[in-house]
Amino acid sequence: MKEQRYSSLENALRVLELFSIEEPDLSVREVAERLSVADSTSHRLLKTLLNEGFVTKDDRSNRYRLGISIRALESVIKKDLSLYHTSQHVLSTYVTRVCETISICVLHRNQTFYLHTVEPDPEQMFYTGLTYVGKRQHVLFTSAGKVLLSDKTKAEVKTVLSEVENELSLEHMMAELKQINEKGYNISYNNFSSGITSISAPVKNKDHQVIAAVEILGPGQRITTEILGKYVKLIKEIAHEIETRVDIKNVAIK
C-alpha cells in the first residue's frame, strides 16, 4: 500500500485533532508516534502551533495543550452553528421528561462527535459523564453512530468498516442500516460500558439527508422493555422539534 504523504499544513491540523478530553496534553514523542513522523518534525509542528497560540506548553512537564486561539475559533463556530444553539434549548426542555442523558451528535471523520449533551438532576443519575461536548466514538459503537450512517452509500459504509476490526460483513451492515432508516430510530445495548442502553433518531435537512442524530442514554435497569416504546416516541419527537426550529437545509458536517 502506498504511504500517504501530508503537507506541513495537513500535519499541523492533524496535530490539533490529536487532543481530546481523554488526552488533553501530549508530548513531542507522543505526537510523533501518532502521526508516524520523526521527533524533530513533531517538535517543529508543535513549535509553529505554539508561536501562533494554538497550543500552550508546560515548561515543567514539556507537554502541550490546546491554546487560546482554539477557544477563539470555537466561539466563532458556535455563534454561527444554528444546530448547536437550537439543540441546546430543545434538549434542555426534554431532559426533565426523559430523566436520562440526551445528546445531539454529528458525523466527523467516521466518528460520532457529541455536539451537545444535557444531563438531568445528578441525584437521579446512576452514571454521569458518559457523554460530553467534544466526545468522539467510532460510529459502529453507538446507536447514534449507526443512525448517522443510515443513509450513506455502500462505498461510504465500506470505508467505515475497513477502519475498525469487526465481524460484520458489508451486506449485513447495509441490511441493518436499511432497517434503521426505515424505522426512523435505533436501539443499542451496552454502549460505552456494560449495562448502558441508548435510543437514537435522525435529524434530517429539507433534502431528507441525515445531518445529525439525537440520543437518549441511560442504565438498562431503568430503560426497561416497558419504557423503550415511550423513549422511541420521545426521541423521534425531539428530532422533529430540532428539524422544525432551525434552517438546516445547507448544514453539512463532515
**CA 113 – CA 83 distance, rounded (Å):** 14
List domains and CATH numbers for the chain: 8-71 (1.10.10.10), 81-245 (3.30.450.40)
Could you report the per-residue pLDDT of 44-71, keeping only the tens digit for each? 999 999 988 889 999 889 999 998 777 6
How far is it, in rounded angstroms, from Cα 181 to Cα 175?
10
Q: How confident is the model at residue 253 (pLDDT cuts 50, 70, 90)?
A: very low
pLDDT tens digits for 83-128? 877 888 899 889 888 888 899 998 887 888 888 888 887 665 555 6
For the chain, the distance separating the N- and C-terminal CA atoms, rounded to the nearest angstrom, is: 25
For residue 91, which amino acid is it? L
- On whether the CB atoms of residues 214 and 103 are closer than 8 A, the answer is yes
pTM score of the predicted model = 0.72
